[in-house]
A and B are shown apart, each in its own frame.
Chain A
């Protein structure tokens, strides 16, 4: 896998709760629209996650899997893609849980680090690539 491979999408782990501390499994809040988000923010380049003020690692999912689950992709700028076509959880709860669960199943943890390690990555004391699983 190289950073130029356009088959995969990378999503920053924005909150430590996205991956359960006991089971190490991705949780439903990893794919939950917040605030005015239009879709689930992803990028072709995993290192873009380092632009955030804080993140705990990177999730990885293939474009093909996303599309096969009936989501859509919106390439809104450069290498950034929003995963859209998310069912309304109040109006279509069954479809919503089924699609989100499948998306979680298709997603893997690409890299993971702690808060202090991320600060060192930002300060270039550590290389984020050393945290790829």
Chain B
């Protein structure tokens, strides 16, 4: 069992709402410290919230119509989950918050933002292995598109995302 998987097994999702405001504050400050130890109120980390967002895609979305696909496909979920585990093993407590949403055919969108630096990474994971994943990165008016998805590429891009200085996107990879 990896370090990330051990943490997954200890997450208490009932703390999600209690800790949301704290995380919002941290996110806005682009703070990557997740040493949230408090005797009164244990705080969830960016990784915990990211995983919670991803795992919510396994539960039927009540906001969707009956005929719509309301959960992520097994392929999309496992691909995203595996990526999270590899990234957590690399970044540990510096894991950046990622928003997961459902694509209309059961694929998954993963989005990492750094608003203060106007940087964004949008990963599209398709519902089926017959289609390719892709990564779209944007920094101000510059953008790059990468076909395919690897944890090594994502590690480089997430390091670029959190850097407090602007650097030429195409030179990152």
A interface residue numbers (CB < 8 A to B): 14-18, 20-25, 27-29, 32-35, 54, 56, 89-90, 93-94, 97-98, 101
Find out whether the CB atom of B113 lies under 8 angstroms from the CB atom of A23: yes
How many residues of chain B are within 8 Å of chain A by beta carbon? 34
Partner of B99, one of A20, A33, A90: A20
Find out whether the CB atom of A29 lies under 8 angstroms from the CB atom of B102: yes
| Interface membership of B145, Cβ < 8 A | yes
In the assembled complex, how far is the CB of residue B160 from the closest CB belonging to chain A, in whole angstroms? 17
Secondary structure of the A contact surface, majority rule: loop
> How far is A61 from B122 in the complex, measured between Cα atoms in Å?
21
Find out whether the CB atom of A35 lies under 8 angstroms from the CB atom of B68: yes
In the assembled complex, how far is the CB of residue A61 from the closest CB belonging to chain B, in whole angstroms? 18
Secondary structure of the B contact surface, majority rule: mixed
Find out whether the CB atom of B67 lies under 8 angstroms from the CB atom of A97: no
> How far is A131 from B64 in the complex, measured between Cα atoms in Å?
23
| Interface membership of B136, Cβ < 8 A | yes
Find out whether the CB atom of A90 lies under 8 angstroms from the CB atom of B131: yes
Specify which of B68, B101, B113, B145 lies most central, judged by the most chain A CB atoms within 10 Å of its CB: B101
Partner of A27, one of B49, B67, B109, B115: B109
| Interface membership of B86, Cβ < 8 A | no
Of B2-10, B20-28, B33-41, the one with at least 4 CB within 8 A of chain A: B20-28
Find out whether the CB atom of B20 lies under 8 angstroms from the CB atom of A21: yes
**Given A34-B104, A35-B65, A23 and B124 touching (CB < 8 A)?**
no
| Interface membership of B97, Cβ < 8 A | yes
29 A-B pairs with CB atoms under 8 Å apart are A16-B63, A17-B101, A17-B102, A20-B111, A22-B20, A22-B99, A23-B97, A23-B99, A23-B115, A25-B115, A28-B103, A28-B109, A29-B102, A29-B104, A32-B104, A34-B64, A35-B68, A89-B124, A90-B131, A93-B132, A94-B134, A94-B145, A97-B122, A97-B124, A97-B134, A97-B136, A101-B122, A101-B136, A101-B143
